[in-house]
Homo-oligomer: A and B are copies of this chain.
Amino acid sequence: MKFSLIQKDAASKARAGVIETGRGQILTPIFMPVGTQGTVKSVSQEQLAERIKAQIILANTYHVFLRPGLEVVNKAGGIHKFINWDKPMLTDSGGYQVFSLSAIRKIKEEGVSFRSHLDGSKIFFSPEIATDIQRTIGADIFMAFDECPPYPCEYKYAKDSMNLTHRWLQRCITRFNETEPLYGVEQNLFPIVQGSVYKDLRIDSAKFIADQNMPGNAIGGLSVGEPHEQMYEMTELVCEHLPADKPRYLMGVGTPENILECIALGIDMFDCVMPTRNARHGFLFTSKGIINIKNEKWKHDYSPVDDLFTPEYSKAYLKHLIKCNEMLGATIASIQNLSFYLWLVGEARQHIIAGDFMDWKKQILPIVMNKL
C-alpha cells in the first residue's frame, strides 16, 4: 500500500491524498460505507459502485465470522469474490462487536471469551485469531484486535485497557508478519490508538502506534457517547502524533459535520452506519439540508428527493414507500444518504486541492445540516 499526499490545506490540517491498494486507488479524504454482513444494507454492489461511487467498503469480522463463516468465504476465494466487489475493502478486527454485542464476555491477557449474540455459542478471539480470521476474509486493509473501552471510563481502566491493546497490537503484528495473504493480493494491518478521553493516554497511545511504522493508523474509542468537542480535541491531539505520511482513519465517525470537522483536523478515512441506518428510518441527508421524510410536510412535495443524487424519485413517493415499509424506500433513502456522504468527502477533497476548504466548509455546513 502506498499513500501519496496531493495537497495540504494552508488554513487547517486537512489533506488530500491517494491510497494505492492491490485493488486500485482510494482518493482521500474518503467515507467507507459499512457492509456489516458482506452487504451494505439495502443497496446492491452495482448501485454502490455506479450510483454511490463508493471506493472502499467495510465488512465486520465478527459478523462474517458468524455468518456465513470462514469456510464459505475461504472457499469462495475471499470476501471480494464472495460478495462480487472488486474494489478495496476493510475489515474491523471484531473487537468492537465483541464488546458491544456480546452480553457475556471475559477479557484476559490471552484474548476474549464471549458468546455469540445469535445462538449463545462460546467463542474465543485473540490477536492471533483475529489476524488469522482477517487473512481468511481477505480485505485489503485490516485492523488490529483492540479493546474498545466504554464511555465514560475511569482513568485506570482506560490506561490498563490501552496497554492491553498495545500488547495485543504487537502480537497482531507478529502474527501478521508470520503469515501471507491467501488470495494473491496485498493486505495491510492498521493499528488503533485508544486511551478514552484522557489526553496523556491518547498521546502515549498515538506515539506507541506511530512507532510501529504500519502503512496506516486508526483512532478508535471515539464517537462512543462523549461530547463532540471532546471527540474533536482527542482527534486533533492524536493527529499531531501520528505520522503525516500515513493515512489516518477515524473509526465509526460520524455526522456530516463530524466528518468535515475531522477532515480539518487531519483525518483521511471515515466509516459510520449513520447514512444507511438513518435511511431506513426515513432520515435523509441531502445537498439542501436534512429531511425527515415521514413528516407530513412532504406528503405533496413532488420535487426530487435530491436533484444531485436521486433526481428520479420524488419526496412524496419516498415518503409513501417508507410509510408502507416497502424495501424500495430503504433502497432509495440509502442511495441518497450514501451518495451524499461520498459527495461530501469528494467535494471536501476538491476544495482542499483548490485551497479554499475552510471557506467552503463554513459555507456548506449550515446548508447541509439545516433541518428542512
Nearest-Cβ distance from residue A69 to partner chain B, whole angstroms: 9
* Complex alpha-carbon distance, A46 and B335, angstroms: 13
Is A290 at the interface (CB under 8 A from chain B)?
A: no
* Min CB gap A369→B, angstroms: 28
B328 touches A76 (CB 8 A): no
With A and B bound together, what is the CA distance between A128 and B220 in angstroms?
65
Q: For residue A332, which residues in chain B have a CB less than 8 angstroms away from its CB?
A: 44
Give the docked Cα–Cα distance between A67 and B326 (Å): 12
A319 to B, closest residue via Cβ: B68
In the complex, per-residue mask of A319-330: 1 if CB is within 8 Å of any chain B CB, else 0: 111011011111
Q: Are B327 and A327 in contact (CB under 8 A)?
A: yes
Given A72-B299, A316-B72: A39 and B330 within 8 A (CB)? no
Given the interface contacts A68-B316, A300-B75, does A331 sit within 8 Å of B327 by beta carbon?
yes
Q: Which of A71, A300, A327, A328 has the most CB of B within 10 A?
A: A328
Q: Say how far A58's CB is from chain B's closest CB, in angstroms.
A: 15
**Which residues of A160-189 have CB atoms within 8 Å of chain B's CB atoms?**
none
A292 at the binding interface (Cβ < 8 Å): no
Which residues in chain A, 49-79, are within 8 Å of chain B measured between CB atoms? Answer: 67-68, 71-72, 75-77
- Is the CB of A25 closer than 8 A to any CB of chain B? no
Assess whether B75 is in contact with A328, with CB atoms less than 8 Å apart.
no
Which residues of the partner chain B approach A317 to less than 8 Å between Cβ atoms? 38, 76, 82-84
What is the minimal beta-carbon distance from A116 to any residue of chain B, in angstroms?
14
* A302 engages B83 (CB within 8 Å): no
Nearest Cβ on chain B to A138's Cβ, whole angstroms: 14
Instruction: Point out the residues of chain B lying under 8 angstroms from A300, CB to CB.
Output: 71-72, 75
- 11 extra interchain contacts, Cβ-Cβ under 8 A, other than A37-B326, A84-B314, A327-B330? A41-B327, A44-B331, A45-B312, A68-B299, A68-B320, A75-B300, A76-B314, A82-B302, A84-B312, A84-B317, A331-B331
A residues sitting closer than 8 Å to B (CB atoms) are: 37-39, 41-46, 67-68, 71-72, 75-77, 81-84, 299-300, 302, 312-314, 316-317, 319-321, 323-324, 326-332
